Amino acid sequence: MSTSAPPPLDLNNIQGDILVGIAKKTETYYFFQIDSSRVNDFRKQLSQLVPLIYTSAKSQDDKKKIADRKRTDAGLLKIGGVNIVFSRKGLNLLGIKDNTGDTAFEAGMLAGAKDLHDNGTTTPDNKFDPDWIPAFKKQIHGLVLVSADSHQTVDESLRKVEQIFKVGTPNATIYQVLRLVGDVRPGNEAGHEHFGFLDGVSQPAVDGVDNHLPGQDVVRQGIILVGRQGDVTTTRPAWALDGSFLAFRYLPQLVPEFNAFLKANPVPGVLPPDFASDLAGARLVGRWKSGAPIDIAFAADNPTLGADKQNNDLFRYNFDFDQDIQSQARCPFAAHTRKTNPRADLDQFGGTELKRILRRGIQFGPELTAEEISLGRTQKDRGLLFAAYQSNIPNGFQFIQQSWANNVTFPPGKKDQKTGGTIQAGFDPIIGQAGPGLPRTMNGFDPKAQSTNLSLTAEWVLSKGGEYFFSPSLPTLKNVFALPADQREL
């Protein structure tokens, strides 16, 4: 990438799922392979797809329109947004061989599954075979993301995409490897993930793009966009400017089993039992189902606080930093939101900016059935289609998963209130992974007996596959990816 300053940021050049995010009720993830004998046709067709790409400028504009409509009760705005991203294997097939400078993307997620501590087996020839659904072990060259207000709008957009690539005809240039459909949950559960907790509460604002709320972290553009200020990698191909890396994970959740665990493990000494189980869930996650952060609402839920979009301004996990020894009375060090964004826990270790990601995922699968509730056992697939953007996967998703959630000694420097000994926080109980067959515990679950470890008797979020992708800017799609090598402009 050139050493001169990049041109000013233009949101028309950036895919809409990255900055701002597409206001969606439903999203289809269409994983595809490119027919290797029709790469030239695919390239030409790619230029026809460019006008369909939903940009960050459009998503910003639509979000304003949606806010206006909510004020005037004018009903749902029709939104249909297409984005396209490529894996390393996909870029290779297009003849784009330059190293992006991102080691995780270059290797692909399958190669890193063991280090992510995904479940699986080691074969006699010492290869790790993760317990993923078969589609993610196949070659995936790219992914079309179609977000919309309704399934009908998704279908309309997907039909256009399939027409462009001649899908279903003898001249098809792409083949579907897997199609995943995500839906916002119905009714009052909208905005809540399948365990029941409000999601999308804490997201960094991007400098110069988002109007940030009080207490919302502001990150430099290069934390999310390649080649912008804050991108720590200096060796990038010119075409990577204003792109972003997408970490996609297919994460089924075992909801009845999670609920049964909370029922069997209420916070000791707290009554009534249902409340003690709700408190247990809040201490595992770091927020109540309402979204209220337990670092403030540590004794009881506070739905008004949960609904307050500015609640990030009210806590940094440092209420007792003036004490020599910090307590877990308010929030366990291992709670999911604290592990994945430790706020003041890292003030003395360089802060968190480089580790921030933009989460754009969506729920998949049906609501619990009466039978699942009565059996306490999952019978239908449901969970999170996790999707997160960053300029650097080893610093973003990969770091959060491997070095924080899976790392029992993180956050560092914590001391036991009574003994003064070093505390091992344990695993993030929601997404922390010990590795195949290994047990997990967390510290600080019981506010009155903080040094007691809680045995996390099962995993309730399963890693069933995924891939790393690169989401190029629109100029790069048009002038590089869609052209044969001798005509490329960058």
Residues contributing to the site for ligand N7H (CB under 6 A): 193, 195, 197, 199-202, 249, 251, 253, 285, 287, 336-337, 340-341, 383-384, 386, 397, 400-401, 430-431, 461
Residue 443: CB minimum distance to ligand N7H, A: 18
Give the separation between CA 462 and CA 136, rounded to whole angstroms.
Answer: 14
Residues whose CB falls within 8 Å of the CB of residue 353, separated by 6 or more in sequence, listed in order: 217, 219, 220, 223, 230
CA-closest candidate to residue 408, choices 428, 437, 438: 428
Name the region of 95 (left: φ>0; alpha: ψ -120 to 50; beta: rest).
Answer: left
Asked if 462 and 119 count as a contact pair (C-beta separation under 8 A), the reply is yes
Classify each residue of 428-439 as buried b or exposed e, where b means 16 or more C-beta atoms within 10 Å of its C-beta.
Answer: bbbbbbbeeeee
The distance of closest approach from Cβ of residue 421 to ligand N7H in the complex, given in angstroms and rounded to an integer, is: 28
Active site residue 68: no
Residue 361 CB, nearest distance to ligand N7H (Å)?
8
E runs forming strands in 351-475? 358-359, 362-364, 383-390, 440-443, 453-456, 466-471
Q: Would you put residue 405 in left (φ > 0), alpha (ψ -120 to 50) or beta?
A: alpha
Could you tell me the smallest distance in angstroms from the CB atom of residue 114 to ligand N7H? Answer: 17
Distance in Å, CB of 337 to ligand N7H, minimum: 4
Nearest-approach distance from CB 21 to ligand N7H, in angstroms = 12
By beta-carbon proximity to ligand N7H, the closer residue of 165 and 250 is: 250
Nearer CB in complex with ligand N7H: 365/383 = 383
Q: Which is nearer to ligand N7H, 215 or 436 (CB)?
A: 215
Distance CA 394, CA 425 (A): 22
Distance, C-alpha 15 to centroid of its chain: 17
Q: Is 323 exposed, middle or buried (0-12, 13-18, 19+ CB in 10 A)?
A: exposed
Nearer Cβ to ligand N7H, position 236 or 336?
Answer: 336
Torsion of CA 260, 264, 266, 268, to 10 degrees: -170
**Which of 201/334 has CB closer to ligand N7H?**
201
Q: How far is the CB of 445 from ligand N7H (least distance, A)?
A: 15
User: Which residues lie below 8 Å from residue 412, measured CB to CB, with a gap of 6+?
Assistant: 349
Q: Residue 116: what are its φ and ψ, rounded to 5°?
A: -75, -5
Catalytic option among 35, 62, 118, 199: 199
User: Which is it for the CA torsion 201, 203, 207, 210, positive or negative?
Assistant: negative
Three-state DSSP class for residue 375 = helix
Smaller CB distance to ligand N7H: residue 119 or 253?
A: 253
Give the nearer residue to ligand N7H in terms of CB position, either 241 or 430. Answer: 430
Q: Are strands 244-252 and 362-364 parallel, antiparallel or unpaired?
A: unpaired
**Which residues are known to be catalytic?**
199
